Amino acid sequence: MNRVFNFAAGPSMLPAAALEKAAKEMLDYNGTGMSVMEMSHRAKGYIEIFDHTVALLKELMQIPENYEVLLLQGGATGQFAAIPMNLLKTSADYVDSGNFAHGALVEAKKYGNINVVASSKEDNYNHIPVLDKSKFNPNADYFYITTNNTIFGTRYTELPDVGNVPLVADMSSNILSQPYDVSKFGVIYAGAQKNIGPAGVVVVIVRKDLLGNAAPNTPKIFDWAKQVDAGSMINTPSTYPIYMAGLCMEWLKAQGGVEAIYKVNCEKAQLLYDYLDESKMFHGTAQKDSRSIMNVTFNTGDADLDAAFVKYAASKGLTNLKGHRLVGGMRASIYNAMPVEGVKALVDALKAFEMENK
């Protein structure tokens, strides 16, 4: 079997152990004589899979009892609208730190007054903007951030102090990659296709006291309280991706959990950033104090040379390194399932390419 090191931003590389277990169970899950894909979402066997996945997430993130966990559809983008539908009464504060953060605030403006407290858009989102607490609304319905900006390779290294205002976070590209105190948030949500499992599921973690406040015209599919009452099953859930998410979380637990994988993730990121800081050819695009440990963005300053490296790397089994069109250059997404060996192979390729193209 010839597996590549897949640096895609999402859908991303998955743990081999999870894929292998899924392959073994593809035709016959646990003696049922059928695939999980074929099981009714109301069947006892499937409910056990669903509950196991939720329990693993609660354990890995140490989610307190006063929070509900939902496994929904519509991706993180669907939650751009669901958040104001469920929480917005008068106004909310947003930080514009990247493409998805910007998309979320544009969507939220359809539902009420949105105050953009800070933005790094003018610098092409190459850093997390400095936050001036005097611009925060202490009476806001919520305060919204995107903890890691996939496209631009930046992350919050410190959470904003928002007082008693519920902090809402899109964690799509760094959930389960580093420890977070869930009790500091009112809502956490994340698309699955980076660190949780395959595409098709969005996780919503919501503090119970924030439920039951949806606007009257909120579609029931987006009403968190109604989804809680229905066990995330107002409609048929993404049964197989939820099963796969459970397998990926089993793998993460076996690695020692979030604390352990965070150390590995820091090691991987440091290996790559150390090289980029020393290289005369390749340069990181995110400001150093905002650098992501999940998405490393870099370039040569020459679009043709960038393209040549992407092609060269692919020939070495290092795939999906082309940067997003809004940044250009290269992007190495080094999520939980990317082993240290993959990053070392990338650094070796960067060194070799630089030597050959002096």
What own/partner pairs with CB < 8 Å and gap ≥ 24 does 64-67 have? 64/182, 64/183, 66/207, 66/208, 66/209, 67/182, 67/205, 67/206, 67/207, 67/208
- CATH 3.90.1150.10 positions along the chain are 256-356
Percent of the chain with pLDDT over 70: 100
Q: What is the pLDDT of residue 34?
A: 97
- Rounded distance between C-alpha atoms, residue 293 and residue 195, angstroms: 13
Other Cβ atoms within 10 Å of 25 Cβ, number: 15
Amino acid at 6: N
Contact 292, 266 (CB under 8 A): no
Contact 74, 65 (CB under 8 A): no
- CATH 3.40.640.10 positions along the chain are 17-254
| pLDDT tens per residue across span 3-51 | 999 999 999 999 999 999 999 999 999 999 999 999 999 999 999 999 9
Q: Which CATH class is domain 256-356?
A: alpha beta
Q: What is the pLDDT of residue 257?
A: 98
Q: What CATH number labels 17-254?
A: 3.40.640.10
Query: What is the chain's mean pLDDT, rounded?
Result: 98
Q: What is the mean pLDDT of residues 100-129?
A: 98
Element (H, E) at 69: strand 67-72
Q: What is the mean pLDDT of residues 207-226?
A: 98
Q: What is the pLDDT of residue 141?
A: 98
Q: What is the pLDDT of residue 258?
A: 98
Q: What is the mean pLDDT of residues 142-153?
A: 98
Q: What is the pLDDT of residue 2?
A: 86
pLDDT at residue 288 tops 80: yes
- Rounded distance between C-alpha atoms, residue 75 and residue 294, angstroms: 19
Q: What is the pLDDT of residue 1?
A: 63
Q: What is the mean pLDDT of residues 99-125?
A: 98
Other Cβ atoms within 10 Å of 342 Cβ, number: 20
